[in-house]
Structure 1
Amino acid sequence: MTERRLELDLELEADPEEVWEAIATGPGISAWFVPQRVEPREGGAVEQDYGSGYEASGRVTAWEPVSGEGRGRFAYGSFDHPEDGRPDYAYEFIVEGRDGGGTVLRFVQSGFLDGTDWDGEYDSFDAGWRLFFTNLRSYLEHFAGQRVQNVVTMGYTAGSASEVWPVLHRALGLGGHPAVGTEVTLAPDGPAPIAGVVDVANEEFLGVRSAGGLHRIGAEGADGCGVSAYHYFYGEPVDAPALTADWQEWLTRLFPVPAGSPEHR
């Protein structure tokens, strides 16, 4: 079967060294993606925490820190080949300095298998990476170099994202999906309110940038829907475990785990 590739380019107003630190080190990646640990060498381990007990691991396949020419390359993939018929994803980040300043970041995810079975998964990865790279841009622009504390929670419910969003809007104290640039206050029942400006608003995600962090609510899927609440708190310390428990309880109360599903206890 023919391999499919997801390719994205970002122009960033940051030095190549700053971008390298953000995409190739555990603390840097955690500041815009998910909590992560990276051994800084080819063959080193990569460990990722997606929240709610879902973790993934892999190995570094390329480790080429930014050179004097302003170019670097970081790549990772799975430790073991997946079961037959499953895609074997690999991820590559290329950092290139621009003439006159700034950096171009080139990203490639490979390992998709051509065919209708993977179209939905491909589209989901595309939407997810575009959100995370928006996080990266915001992090570099507003919070660069600050220590991050992550709050990462996930859930699942029957139905579609179009059915789930009205539930999320009401639970956040919103009248609907606000436009980018709107000042809002998220007021969930349980977790503390969050005031800020909307910086992401599309079919899959609602994002708010507060004075101290980035806050992302997600609903993805047409036949069964994944829901998520990711928060990145920068600078001043917060009680991340307590906040994680609060947001997970909020999600689970809104969308109880369906009986009979693998997650049901």
Structure 2
Amino acid sequence: MSREFEVTRDIDLPASPDDVWTAITSDSAAWMFPTGMEIPAGATPPEDAPVVTWDPPSHLVIRTESPDGTFNALDYAIEARDGGTAHLRYVHSGILADGWEDQYDAIGGHTDFYLHTLAQYLQHFNGRPVTYVGRPSSGIEGPGSAGTPEAMDALRAALGLAPGAAVGDAVRASLGDARTLDGVVDHATPEFLGVRTADGLYRFFGRNHYGGVVGMSAHLFGGGVDAAEQEAALKAWLDGVYA
């Protein structure tokens, strides 16, 4: 049975409305993943884009509809705040199919993680060229053995972190051929873990909590990154965690 849903979030962001708008419309690879709908700064959406509202830098609404009558809509409302900052009201709505309870929980958790990553990008890497490592929307997935209830604890242990790792904890761990992860925890919940380094944001997704497997992605802001090479190296490391 399908069911309509709506997830609403309000977040203050450490950047101007113009920078927030640019991050959402053209730099999604820097904080979420490449959507295939990136629109260069100063440009307008193509005629066939599923854009309902385009009012830079204040309001963006994207809505896609399927032949079966379901839809998916993203609504970004941006307001200027004191000190050159901005407030974002984000609403994700649509229709979920069978198993909607797990899907709804997953949407809520992923929304919080992605919006947090947006804030981290704007605060620490705003405007820097980025290489996204992973596949759009799914990132880099672990093996089937990364789907157990304890899978995120195994990941934390591989990073030298305790099960109760908290924001601010230091991280220094080998990622195999993907080199050393040297940074700090910037996001920590039972389902999600974020690590920020001097030139990157590493995101770990506990999708084992939603019927999937643990996965990861990376947003790398240094030059000369070979995305395919990095993805292969991180995939090999993640598989090794659960070997």
Structure 2 gaps, min length 5: 135-139
Residue 231 of structure 2 corresponds to residue 248 of structure 1: no
Greater relative CO, 1 or 2 (CA 8 Å, sep 6+): 2
Which of residues 66, 72, 97 is equivalent to 1:81?
A: 66
* RMSD of aligned residue pairs (Cα, Å): 2.6
> What is the SS of the residue equivalent to 2:132?
strand
Moved more, 204-213 or 169-178: 169-178
Residues 161 and 221, structure 1, Cα contact 8 Å, conserved in 2: yes
Residue 153 of structure 2 corresponds to residue 162 of structure 1: no
Structure 2 residue aligned with 1:69: none
The structure-2 alpha-carbon separation of the partners of 1:91 and 1:194, relative to structure 1 and needing over 3 Å to count, comes to same
For 1:191, the aligned partner's letter is A
TM-fit CA distance, 1:198: 0.7
Residues 8 and 92, structure 2, Cα contact 8 Å, conserved in 1: yes
Residue 116 of structure 2 corresponds to residue 134 of structure 1: yes
Task: Say which structure is richer in helix.
Answer: 2
The structure-2 alpha-carbon separation of the partners of 1:99 and 1:63, relative to structure 1 and needing over 3 Å to count, comes to same
CA distance in 2 between partners of 1:220 and 1:123 (Å): 11
TM-fit CA distance, 1:230: 1.0
Structure 2 residue aligned with 1:205: 192
Map 1:192-231 to 2 at 5 A: 192-222=179-209, 224-231=211-218
Which of residues 58, 71, 74 is equivalent to 1:91?
A: 74
Tell me the TM-score normalised to structure 1 length: 0.77
Residue-by-residue CA offset, 1:143-163 (whole Å, 9 max, x unaligned): 111011111212453675532
CA distance in 2 between partners of 1:128 and 1:173 (Å): 24
The structure-2 alpha-carbon separation of the partners of 1:251 and 1:83, relative to structure 1 and needing over 3 Å to count, comes to farther
Structure 1 residue aligned with 2:52: 61
Structure 2 residue aligned with 1:3: 4
For 2:120, the aligned partner's letter is S
Structure 1 gaps, min length 5: 46-58, 67-71, 257-265
The structure-2 alpha-carbon separation of the partners of 1:96 and 1:237, relative to structure 1 and needing over 3 Å to count, comes to same
TM-fit CA distance, 1:177: 4.4
The structure-2 alpha-carbon separation of the partners of 1:96 and 1:65, relative to structure 1 and needing over 3 Å to count, comes to same
Moved more, 146-155 or 166-175: 166-175
Residue-by-residue CA offset, 1:155-188 (whole Å, 9 max, x unaligned): 4536755321233234334444421101111323
Structure 1 residue aligned with 2:34: 35
Residue 186 of structure 2 corresponds to residue 186 of structure 1: no
> What is the SS of the residue equivalent to 2:123?
helix
Percent of paired sites with the same residue: 32
The structure-2 alpha-carbon separation of the partners of 1:178 and 1:211, relative to structure 1 and needing over 3 Å to count, comes to same
Residue-by-residue CA offset, 1:65-88 (whole Å, 9 max, x unaligned): 12xxxxx2122232x51546xx42
Number of equivalenced pairs: 232
Residue-by-residue CA offset, 1:83-112 (whole Å, 9 max, x unaligned): 46xx42111111111255421111111113
The structure-2 alpha-carbon separation of the partners of 1:104 and 1:161, relative to structure 1 and needing over 3 Å to count, comes to farther
Residues 42 and 61, structure 1, Cα contact 8 Å, conserved in 2: no
Residues 191 and 207, structure 2, Cα contact 8 Å, conserved in 1: yes
CA distance in 2 between partners of 1:182 and 1:10 (Å): 24
The structure-2 alpha-carbon separation of the partners of 1:97 and 1:253, relative to structure 1 and needing over 3 Å to count, comes to same
Residues 129 and 221, structure 2, Cα contact 8 Å, conserved in 1: yes
Residue 94 of structure 2 corresponds to residue 111 of structure 1: yes
Tell me the TM-score normalised to structure 2 length: 0.84
For 2:54, the aligned partner's letter is W
